[in-house]
Amino acid sequence: MSFTAQAGDLAQLQGSGFRSHLVRLEAGAVLQTHRGIIRHDDIIGQPWGSMLKSHTGQPFYLFQPGLADLVRETKRTTQILYPKDIGYILMVMGIGPGSYVLEIGTGSGGLTTAFAYMVGENGKAITYERNPAAQNLAIKNLTKIGLAGRVEFKLSDAVEGFSERDMDAAFMDLPNAFDYIALAKQSLKGGGYLGMLVPTVNQVSRCLQALKQAHFACVEVCEIFMRYYKTDWERLRPTDRMVAHTGYLIFGRSVTQVIEDLFAGTEEEAV
């Protein structure tokens, strides 16, 4: 472990507020920002957590980026999932080192980044996308941060099905996810997790029906809200804006037969 930034490292330069820049450090390279120029040679060798200044004197902190930073900095042409939802998805579906995860709907690669980060060197994320332009952008995004090697990108429409079998988990970010639940089940191992994100309650209802028909149990539907607080300890209060509804999350586990009470129960009733 190096306590200083080295050539080849992925570094985050955090300016005031939430604006930051991700750069792969390279001797002789230059980062140009709206707050001035920073030479990579002036970053290399500096301790993580240092404060650096651009040629105009504007300050930046030098950090090693975390997973949330990588997701937030994803270049996108489509809406991506954000850390408030991704964290819950990873926990519920048990995604960790060595996991094999199927993703249906790559988009710009925000969730793909999280899957690749979590599965480690011994796991794999296989992701399907039907739009070549979206897939190319996702590949560029994952390559930039050094995680593309953990991902298999497939250009294919979900209607054609999925060749993978015995996957630990699968996640679908599609408006008509209910049409592909039975197909996704074929790729899961017994007890494997299926997760979905859909934008409307109408789609949730159709997904619930399809989950029961395809023999999924322990079904859960939720939405996640996040409220930040201003960090002035003398005037502590919530910020003016709240990160509220982004979509409905649905989860289930693949089983051979559904126990009716398990499917119909809620978390409150189970406690």
Q: Establish if 175 belongs to a structural domain.
A: yes
| CATH label of the domain that carries residue 35 | 3.10.330.20
* 109 and 223 inside one domain: yes
- Number of domains making up the chain: 2
Q: Establish if 25 belongs to a structural domain.
A: yes
> Which residue among 44, 65, 86 closes a domain?
65
* 45 and 115 inside one domain: no
Tell me the two tokens of residue 98: 């060595």
* 95 and 23 inside one domain: no
Q: Establish if 1 belongs to a structural domain.
A: no
pLDDT tens digits for range 86-104:
999 999 999 999 999 999 9
Contact 115, 71 (CB under 8 A): no
Q: Establish if 73 belongs to a structural domain.
A: yes
* 115 and 20 inside one domain: no
* 147 and 265 inside one domain: yes
d(CA 166, CA 62): 42
pTM for the whole thing? 0.89
* 121 and 235 inside one domain: yes
Label the pairing between strands 216-222 and 188-198: unpaired
Label the pairing between strands 167-172 and 188-198: parallel
d(CA 7, CA 45): 8
d(CA 199, CA 182): 20
* 53 and 80 inside one domain: no
* Sequence-ordered alpha helix ranges (H) in 26-173: 40-43, 67-72, 83-92, 110-119, 132-144
* 24 and 113 inside one domain: no
| CATH label of the domain that carries residue 149 | 3.40.50.150
* 30 and 91 inside one domain: no
Report percent pLDDT > 70 for the chain: 95
pLDDT tens digits for range 207-242:
999 999 999 999 999 999 988 898 888 889 998 888
> Which residue among 46, 65, 84 closes a domain?
65
* 181 and 229 inside one domain: yes
Which structural domain range is residue 21 located in?
10-65
* 264 and 156 inside one domain: yes
pLDDT tens digits for range 15-72:
876 678 999 999 999 999 888 999 999 999 999 999 999 999 999 999 999 999 999 8
Q: Which residue has the tokens 């008509």?
A: 176
**Is residue 80 scored above 80 in pLDDT?**
no
> Which residue among 21, 50, 65 closes a domain?
65
